[in-house]
Amino acid sequence: MSSPKPASPLDLALPGAEDTRRETMQWLTSLAKERRLSAKTVEAYARDLRQFLTFLTGHLGEAPTVKAVLSLKPLDIRSFLAARRMEAVGSRSLMRQLAALRSFARHLEREGFGTASAFAAIRTPKVDKNLPRPLSASSAVAVTDTEVRAGENRKPWILARDAAVLSLLYGAGLRISEALGLQRRDAPIHGTDSITVMGKGGKQRSVPVIPAIQRAVEEYLHLCPYTIPPEGPLFVGARGGPLSPRIIQLAVEELRGALGLPDSATPHALRHSFATHLLARGGDLRGIQELLGHASLSTTQLYTKVDATRLMDAFDAAHPRARR
């Protein structure tokens, strides 16, 4: 007779009745194997459900069974969300937590236990979208200039590499992952006026490349001591391997000190600056949406609010009647 399979540490940590714990483990397994969510996401979902089941144990006065979970009313779930609010949990965390609970409820429905209508009846917490914080045009240009970091103890090719990456972020509006995802054969050199990048969700888009970017990439490749194969990463680290995004983040941190820029000056802020400066010069919103690779126009429209805010700041600072 075979010995019983040892319980998973996660299983032992989960509250709830035996059937609830069993279904929880099956749900988490399906998230990892069928939906192929990352280990961190599965861990976060497990933590979210654990908190919910712990709350229900006190709320219901006993360990919740699957039947009890399916019998919950919207008021029960709102009580849990209210309790989390009392613990100073933000809207984004609550939104993810509710998504985890709904996913678990759908699992129970698929397994034939019944309908979990209460979870669908709860309105998703509203999350305020933070306005992008772009750099000024002069600061954005300075960040991409190798001369600003000329006094640093860095090899010239590394300074040229960082400048080329930052030029792509500001000059083409790329995400840092998109810039570092370019291959050597994608290099915008020798008059190449556009590049194709792989954006979020595996969506490709074509982005125009201005001469300043071409020059920056050409300078980097001219100085780079490594022979990069066509299918290799365009931007390499000090030892010739793929360049880590953290290296570019550190480079921008050093530039913040050199230029006296705020903490909001990050690699991603250069992408914000690209969009904001285009809009300020009369760029078409739909065109900017395509350049940025935004799936929704509403995401791009955030930049109109940024522009309006800057106009009002300028008005308040300069107009003689602004303070009256």
User: Both tokens of residue 130?
Assistant: 């933070």
| 190 classed as catalytic | no
Known catalytic residue at 102 = no
- Tokens for 14? 């989960």
Which residue in the list 73, 200, 222, 305 is annotated as catalytic?
200
Question: Which residue among 84, 175, 272, 277 is the active-site one?
Answer: 175
The torsion of the CA quartet 284, 287, 288, 290, rounded to 10 degrees, works out to 160
Is residue 303 among the annotated active site residues? yes
Listed in sequence order, the residues at least 6 apart from 156 whose beta carbon sits closer than 8 Å to its beta carbon are 146, 223
* CA gap 194, 207 in Å, rounded: 5
Contacts of residue 139, defined as CB under 8 A and 6 or more positions apart, other chains included, come to 259, 261, 265
String of b and e for 143-160 (b: at least 16 CB within 10 Å)?
A: bbbbebbeeeebeebbbb
Of 22, 47, 215, 268, catalytic: 268
277 is catalytic: no
Which pair of structure tokens corresponds to residue 260? 């006296």
- Considering the candidates 45, 170, 220, 303, report the single residue annotated as catalytic: 303
Shortest CA distance to 287 belongs to which of 279, 269, 136, 211? Answer: 279
Q: What are the tokens at 73?
A: 């009313």
- Residue 289: both structure tokens together: 């949406």
**Dist. CA 236–CA 55, nearest whole Å:** 49
Whether 294 sits among the annotated catalytic residues: the reply is yes
For the question of residue 268 being annotated catalytic, the response is yes
- Catalytic residue selected from 47, 149, 294, 310: 294
Residues acting as catalytic residues: 175, 200, 268, 271, 294, 303
